[in-house]
């Protein structure tokens, strides 16, 4: 059976690269995954910042089971009053600033980006969009347009017109924002650039210019949100609130869910001229919404952003080695920088062979990713650090 699955994986599933990891995981629990041979792997990347509570967290599983026994899909999003959607949106309104009061639920991060861009253009009546170099916002045409790496998008042009990419963190470059700018879309921490941060001055100036010109500020917290940065929301580090907030990945509690969130005045313009200005069949699926609420409640009740901050410091203290050139990021979204992709890849491969799952970043292939579950224990952090340091020693010449 296992051999047939492996063969059919290559034969019948569309491939994303010519070198998938191709691990056959048969079960997972907490911070660990287990393959078909029973080998144990410590998950240091949470399915790329998705499994914030680890795998099959009992609270989330109970919520999924309970909702699945009531109903799953009833109607396209926005037509029926479905309690899981309403209760999730209510909880979000209670833990976000009051300006972020209304949530539009979708299927994924890419779709949330698409919705946010459409909303900004519709509300402002403008067409220009500002994004940043090495930003990653998704793979659909619109989200790819605002992604800031030409190598990823060259083969798919033409994309959206009037999109301008500025250097991330460059305060002077922000002067490009003008009264013709519909929106500025920015990651609070650039994920695929290798957990890159920008300073307080950059975000203060960005917020000021959006206010001065009437451009909407869209903050993408698809990777950095939900406690991962060491705060509940990464924008809290800078003290500035976006006009539109984008969530996905860990937001779904392990199931596919995304959202773009704004104030009612802005969101209302999707309801008319044209009606159904943005629509989704499966967005806000009841089971996904129930999982999301359970995940969000668990993060809040356990203040897991505090553990993210504490364990991030533990990683930094333990991961000291001449081969590590830098450690970037915040909380439990971190990048270990090495001299080259070849060195980084060899270390990653050795880690996986030792039972530690990690990987590199799309736009920073010389960096090793650390983004474990937010509830990772001291013991597992120590184990992960030991394995990484062993792998570095085996690949340092």
243: CATH: 3.40.640.10
Q: Residue 1 — pLDDT band, cuts 50, 70, 90?
A: very low
Is there a single domain that holds both residue 316 and residue 293? no
Q: What is the CA radius of gyration of the chain?
A: 21
Last residue of a domain, one of 301, 326, 359: 301
Last residue of a domain, one of 301, 319, 350: 301
Is there a single domain that holds both residue 271 and residue 352? no
Is there a single domain that holds both residue 159 and residue 233? yes
The percentage of the chain sitting over the pLDDT mark of 70, rounded to a whole number, equals 99
Is there a single domain that holds both residue 30 and residue 44? yes
Quote the strand ranges of 248-387, DSSP E. 258-262, 326-330, 333-337, 356-357, 360-361, 364-370
Number of structural domains (the chain) is: 2
Domain that holds residue 97: 59-301
- Distances from the Cα of 354 to the Cα of 153, 348, 387, angstroms: 35, 10, 7
Is there a single domain that holds both residue 284 and residue 311? no
Is there a single domain that holds both residue 48 and residue 69? no
Is there a single domain that holds both residue 93 and residue 185? yes
pLDDT confidence of residue 345? 97
Last residue of a domain, one of 251, 271, 301: 301
Q: What are phi and psi of 144, to 5 degrees?
A: -65, -35
Residue 55: strand, helix, or coil: strand
Is there a single domain that holds both residue 93 and residue 39? no
Is there a single domain that holds both residue 194 and residue 254? yes
Burial profile 46-61: b = 16 or more Cβ within 10 angstroms, e = fewer: bbbbbbbbbbebeebe
Query: Cβ neighbours of residue 248 under 8 Å, at least 6 residues apart?
Result: 108, 109, 112, 222, 257, 258, 259
CATH number of domain containing 339: 3.90.1150.10
175-179, 193-197, 260-264, 393-397 — which is least confidently predicted? Answer: 393-397
Determine the average pLDDT of the residues in 305-315. 98
Which of 51, 107, 98 is CA-nearest to residue 77?
Answer: 107
Q: Residue 14 — pLDDT band, cuts 50, 70, 90?
A: confident
Is there a single domain that holds both residue 260 and residue 145? yes
The percentage of the chain sitting over the pLDDT mark of 90, rounded to a whole number, equals 93
pLDDT confidence of residue 389? 98
Is there a single domain that holds both residue 145 and residue 264? yes
**In contact, 296 and 88? CB cutoff 8 Å:** yes
Entry pTM? 0.96
Is there a single domain that holds both residue 76 and residue 65? yes
């Amino acid at each position: 059976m296992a051999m047939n699955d492996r063969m059919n994986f290559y034969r019948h599933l569309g491939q994303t690269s010519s070198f998938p990891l191709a691990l056959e995981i048969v079960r997972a629990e907490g911070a660990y995954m287990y393959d078909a041979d029973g080998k144990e792997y410590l998950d240091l990347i949470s399915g790329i910042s998705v499994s914030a509570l680890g795998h099959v967290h009992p609270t989330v599983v109970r919520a999924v089971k309970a909702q699945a026994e009531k109903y799953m899909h009833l109607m396209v999003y926005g037509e029926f009053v479905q309690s899981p959607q309403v209760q999730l949106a209510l909880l979000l309104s209670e833990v976000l600033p009051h300006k972020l009061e209304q949530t539009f639920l979708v299927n994924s991060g890419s779709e949330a980006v698409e919705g946010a861009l459409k909303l900004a253009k519709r509300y402002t009546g403008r067409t220009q969009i500002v994004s940043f170099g090495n930003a990653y916002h998704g793979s659909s045409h619109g989200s790819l347009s605002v992604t800031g790496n030409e190598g990823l998008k060259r083969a798919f042009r033409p994309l959206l017109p009037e999109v301008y990419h500025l250097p991330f963190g460059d305060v002077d470059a922000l002067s490009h924002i003008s009264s013709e700018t519909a929106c500025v879309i920015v990651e609070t921490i650039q994920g695929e650039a290798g957990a890159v941060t920008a300073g307080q001055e950059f975000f203060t100036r960005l917020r000021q210019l959006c206010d001065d010109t009437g451009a909407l500020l869209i903050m993408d917290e698809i990777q950095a949100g939900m406690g991962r940065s060491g705060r509940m929301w990464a924008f809290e580090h800078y003290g500035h609130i976006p006009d539109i907030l984008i969530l996905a990945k860990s937001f779904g509690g392990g199931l596919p869910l995304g959202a773009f969130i704004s104030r009612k005045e802005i969101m209302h313009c999707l309801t008319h001229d044209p009606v159904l200005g943005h629509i989704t069949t499966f967005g806000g699926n009841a089971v996904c919404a129930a999982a999301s609420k359970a995940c969000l409640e668990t993060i809040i009740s356990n203040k897991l952003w505090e553990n993210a901050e504490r364990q991030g410091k533990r990683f930094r203290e333990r991961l000291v080695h001449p081969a590590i050139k830098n450690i970037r990021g915040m909380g439990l979204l971190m990048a270990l920088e090495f001299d080259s992709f070849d060195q980084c890849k060899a270390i990653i491969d050795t880690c996986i062979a030792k039972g530690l799952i990690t990987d590199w970043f799309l736009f920073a292939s010389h960096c090793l990713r650390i983004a474990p579950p937010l509830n990772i224990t001291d013991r597992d952090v120590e184990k992960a650090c030991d394995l990484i340091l062993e792998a570095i020693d085996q690949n340092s010449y």
